[in-house]
Copies of this chain bind each other. A is one copy, B any other.
Amino acid sequence: MKIGVDVMGGDYAPDVVIEGAVDSLQHLVARDEIFLIGDANLIHNMLTGLNIPDGRFTIVPTTQVISMGDVPAKAFAQKPDSSIAVGYRMLKEKEIDGFCSAGNTGAMLVGVSYTVNVIPGVLRPALATIVPALDNHNSVILDVGLNPECKPDVLMQYGILGSIFARYILEAENPTVKLLNIGEEASKGTATVKAAYELMNNHPAINFIGNIEGNGLFMNNMPDVIVCDGFVGNVILKQTEAFYHIIKARNLKDPFFDNLDFEGIGGTPVIGINANVVIGHGVSKRKAIMNMILQTWAVVHANLAQKIKEAI
């Protein structure tokens, strides 16, 4: 399996990206190949410093960098030899099976439309994140930030995309789907979620079991898939991050809360596109980068993009 890693992306790049990639090797087998895409000299020196023979990685030299502050579309177009642009080109040419970056999220998304494209029939791609629960069940929630405004048909289709994710990544057999809302009844919420409720409730490919409220998140008996727009999904994700920080600040120790550490999850797959792409948190450090790479491996292993293409 061939995984491309954007060495230049993230607040602590390139050093921690290379360190994270080195750590990921322990969890991968020999036929898994990591492509480090970035400044070749930097990478070489760093690997030498870490006593890692270059041969453990394939270095893909690039000369440009898209920084966190760059305007995404402009940067992607004007920096064809940036690590993000080269990664997408390699994805498109099938030189790699998956690509991940903790860099400029906007540029990562622009890259999709410039190269691998959205899967025909997919209304809007989404970012999907795994949510752990008290009873150790894992759910997937989408969208968590790509589309802050979603029409009912987009939410409905997230039910389908999420079900595929749950089936192949979470190994749920007949994934249950709930719609995030402010009440359990079908009549609750905005006009948009009410319409989405109707669409999902009547869709043969969605095992829809009703609404979930905020106080059902992380609790027992979660559905396999939680559907929401990217605004509220993003707030949920970040509020969880706040609670994780509070637990640490208060010096409380509990394994459940360790599951909420984004560094342990590493990255968020972009689903609904013709390639396996994972986006990491800008503030990713060594552990988060390692897990972003392993998450990319899991998405490639499940062949998620292909599974969605077949289902849509």
- The residues of A with any CB-CB pair to B shorter than 8 Å are 134, 145, 148-149, 180, 182, 189-191, 193, 213-219, 230-232, 234-243, 245-246, 249-250, 252, 254, 256-257
B242–A182 touching, CB < 8 Å: no
Q: List 16 A-B contacts (CB under 8 A).
A: A134-B246, A134-B249, A148-B182, A148-B189, A182-B234, A213-B235, A214-B241, A216-B242, A217-B239, A218-B242, A218-B243, A218-B246, A231-B232, A243-B243, A250-B257, A252-B254
How many Å lie between the Cα of A62 and that of B241 in the bound state? 48
The verdict on A242 contacting B215 (CB below 8 Å), with A235-B180, A254-B252 known, is yes
Q: How far is the CB of A185 from chain B (nearest CB, A)?
A: 10
Q: How far is the CB of A107 from chain B (nearest CB, A)?
A: 15
The residue from B235, B240, B245 contacting A232, defined by CB atoms under 8 A apart: B235
B148–A231 touching, CB < 8 Å: no
How many Å lie between the Cα of A241 and that of B182 in the bound state? 13
- Residues of chain B lying within 8 A (CB to CB) of residue A214: 234-242
- Residues of chain B lying within 8 A (CB to CB) of residue A252: 252, 254
List 17 additional contacts besides A213-B235, A217-B242; criterion CB under 8 Å: A134-B249, A148-B189, A148-B190, A180-B235, A182-B230, A182-B235, A214-B238, A214-B239, A214-B241, A215-B245, A216-B238, A218-B242, A231-B232, A236-B239, A243-B243, A250-B256, A252-B254
Q: Which residue of B lies closest to A188 (CB)?
A: B148
How many Å lie between the Cα of A215 and that of B145 in the bound state? 14
- Residues of chain B lying within 8 A (CB to CB) of residue A145: 182
The verdict on A215 contacting B190 (CB below 8 Å), with A145-B182, A182-B231, A232-B231 known, is no
B254–A250 touching, CB < 8 Å: yes
Top 10 closest pairs, chain A to chain B, by CB: A214-B238, A215-B238, A214-B235, A214-B239, A182-B234, A215-B241, A148-B190, A215-B242, A149-B190, A250-B254
- Residues of chain B lying within 8 A (CB to CB) of residue A190: 148-149, 231
B256–A239 touching, CB < 8 Å: no
How many Å lie between the Cα of A57 and that of B239 in the bound state? 43
How many Å lie between the Cα of A218 and that of B190 in the bound state? 27
- Residues of chain B lying within 8 A (CB to CB) of residue A216: 238, 242
Q: Which residue of B lies closest to A243 (CB)?
A: B243
- Residues of chain B lying within 8 A (CB to CB) of residue A243: 218, 243
How many Å lie between the Cα of A249 and that of B249 in the bound state? 20
Q: Which residue of B lies closest to A241 (CB)?
A: B215
- Residues of chain B lying within 8 A (CB to CB) of residue A193: 231
Q: How far is the CB of A157 from chain B (nearest CB, A)?
A: 19
How many Å lie between the Cα of A137 and that of B190 in the bound state? 32
Q: How far is the CB of A195 from chain B (nearest CB, A)?
A: 13
How many Å lie between the Cα of A256 and that of B148 in the bound state? 32
How many Å lie between the Cα of A230 and that of B257 in the bound state? 28
Q: Which residue of B lies closest to A254 (CB)?
A: B250
